[in-house]
Structure 1
Amino acid sequence: MKIMILGSKGNIGNYLSNYLTNQHEIIPLDKNDLDITDKNSVLQTIKSSSPDIVIQAAGLSDIDFCESHETESYTVNTLGTLNVAYACNTLSIPIVYISSAYVYGGEKPSPYFETDKCSPINIYGKSKLAAEKLIRTICSKYFIIRTSWCFGGNDCYIKKALSQANAPIFLISDAIINPTYIEDLCNSISQIITSDFYGVYNCVNDGYTSKQEVINYVFDYFNIQKNVLPLSTETIKNIAPRPKYTAMNTCLLYNCFNIKMPSWQDSITHYLDTIVNSTQ
């Protein structure tokens, strides 16, 4: 299969490119290769490359940057994705869109299903949801993958936390999320794209927890005696609001593709094992 990956230098796009390259022909494009806000350029690039599928992983993902740059966020995340979706639909090419748990508003007390109401509370989530709606409106062949708090790859918050093990670490403690191992995400996508079960899918590791507990789990693995200091979302000013609860249910992923996501604890342990093995 010939797969075009947009945003190929981002953390997910880069990992996907490397993960899929052994089984598929990969066309990796980053923002220097293709400006997704240029509709004609997007159409001509996809048409000339003639991929079997396009994975749209390009966009702005810095939550606070998006909040203070609303126009740019919608231009890149929403209109840029619209351009990709338009080209894919015109050429009858399936599109895979990497979306986010932040499309959910956080008001639900139990894990979100794909069919639950989406009411994002920050610009990033709103721009991603708007892109989803445009894809669903104009495309007949699409996979929308909602994921959350990915770890692994080159830009990994777990590695950053370990590098700061001797300095105080503050993390929001009252936001409940699903940590997601980027390798598990890529493995799921590699299976999904071989099917025609188009639709919207939550794709996260099993189980949910707080960001504080994730980092505590990492420090416990290495027997690092260090407290992660909790912060409430209300105590932090001048940043984008974060939903307090974005845990997701992945039953649909299992029912449609027989993909059983590992627990977040097992996947973090596996990831930390790879870090240890790589240093030996």
Structure 2
Amino acid sequence: MQKIWICGAGGRVGRQMARLLDKKPVELLLTDIDSVDITNSKEVMEYAGINRPHVIVNCAGLTDVRMCEAEPERAFLVNALGPRNLSVAARVVKARLVQLSTDDVFGGGGQVPYTEFDSPSPETVYGKSKLAGENFIREFCNRHIIIRSSWIFGDKSLYLESILKLASEGKTVKAAVDQIASPTGAAGLAEKVKELMEYGEDGLYHVTGQGFCTRYEFAKEVVRLSGYSAKVEPVEAIRDAYTAMRPSYSVLDNMMLRMSSVDLLPDWKVMLKEYMEQRAAKKQGRM
């Protein structure tokens, strides 16, 4: 039976991956920092050596951009050395490594969607540390898939939940009008990660919801779908405390998916509507 090790199994995408794969005839190895610390090379190697996974899916990462700026060594430890340790372990046990990365590897100065063939130029510690992780994987692991995505929403989405909290209290939601990307549902992303893991060729893929929007447009849609009547105010990114340091433009072109004849994810509005309906059903005890 194939063994699949999911690191960061308690996160947004990790939880969805575990849910999907639990229905498959595979043995799931689910870990988080409390069971295997990917920044500890000895722990990683011992776990991989004992369990001998066929595939390692790394959903772990330090994604708080402000924390990354405040603690750069911690950011590089988790986002760069963690993937390095997993890469070395994957090579030793002959496993395939699937790494989740980010649109923040691009600096945001562009005006057209970035393809997998554009050169990254991150400006934040978060983006630089994630790119370093990608590079370690390319250097140490010959069987790998790197998947970049953007504005991932789902369970445990701090940004989306912050919007809903303000809206539920009748407070004004301030959202950046000068940041543009493609929101992506964690459930849809997990489906595509699973598909690429099972049938895709090795390499780099951009996987996002179709279409794009500003943070302001995203927040307005969240509030509309929630049924709250809160006001959403467009502001400059510097006044949006949750996203001030993110790229101004980081729309990802899913070119490799198209060229590989892999179906694209739905439009971001479709995925957001589906998530909000599921979230409401859970709160009402219907799921």
TM-score range, shorter chain: over 0.9
Aligned to 1:98: 100
C-alpha distance in structure 2 between counterparts of 1:182 and 1:62, whole Å: 17
Kept in 1, the 8 Å contact 2:175–2:240? The answer is no
Change over 3 Å in CA distance of 1:265–1:22 after alignment to 2 = same
Cα displacement (A) at 1:59: 2.0
Secondary structure of the residue that 2:162 maps to in structure 1?
A: helix
Change over 3 Å in CA distance of 1:18–1:263 after alignment to 2 = same
One-letter amino acid of the counterpart of residue 88, structure 1: A
C-alpha distance in structure 2 between counterparts of 1:87 and 1:196, whole Å: 21
How many matched pairs? 280
Aligned to 1:199: 203
Spell out structure 1 runs of 4+ moving beyond 6 A: 236-240
1:1-80, aligned counterparts within 5 Å? 1-23=2-24, 24-80=26-82
C-alpha distance in structure 1 between counterparts of 2:242 and 2:216, whole Å: 21
Normalising by structure 1, we get a TM-score of 0.93
Superposed CA deviations along residues 108-152 of structure 1, whole A, max 9, x for unmatched, are 110010110100010000000011011112211101010111111
Change over 3 Å in CA distance of 1:46–1:38 after alignment to 2 = same
Aligned to 1:267: 271
CA RMSD, Structure 1 to Structure 2 (Å): 1.9
- Whether 1:134 aligns to 2:161 is no
One-letter amino acid of the counterpart of residue 4, structure 1: W
Normalising by structure 2, we get a TM-score of 0.91
Q: Which runs of 5+ in 1 are unaligned?
A: none
One-letter amino acid of the counterpart of residue 164, structure 2: L
Matching residue within 218, 226, 237 for 2:230: 226
Aligned to 2:260: 256
Cα displacement (A) at 1:277: 3.5
Secondary structure of the residue that 2:218 maps to in structure 1?
A: helix
One-letter amino acid of the counterpart of residue 241, structure 1: M
C-alpha distance in structure 1 between counterparts of 2:140 and 2:199, whole Å: 20
* Structure 1 range deviating more: 239-248 or 86-95: 239-248
One-letter amino acid of the counterpart of residue 260, structure 1: L
Cα displacement (A) at 1:44: 1.5
* Structure 1 range deviating more: 214-223 or 143-152: 214-223
C-alpha distance in structure 1 between counterparts of 2:85 and 2:30, whole Å: 18
Cα displacement (A) at 1:235: 4.7
* Structure 1 range deviating more: 150-159 or 188-197: 150-159
Change over 3 Å in CA distance of 1:67–1:14 after alignment to 2 = same
Cα displacement (A) at 1:231: 2.1
Change over 3 Å in CA distance of 1:245–1:69 after alignment to 2 = same
C-alpha distance in structure 1 between counterparts of 2:226 and 2:88, whole Å: 48
Q: Which runs of 5+ in 2 are unaligned?
A: none
Cα displacement (A) at 1:275: 2.8
One-letter amino acid of the counterpart of residue 17, structure 1: A
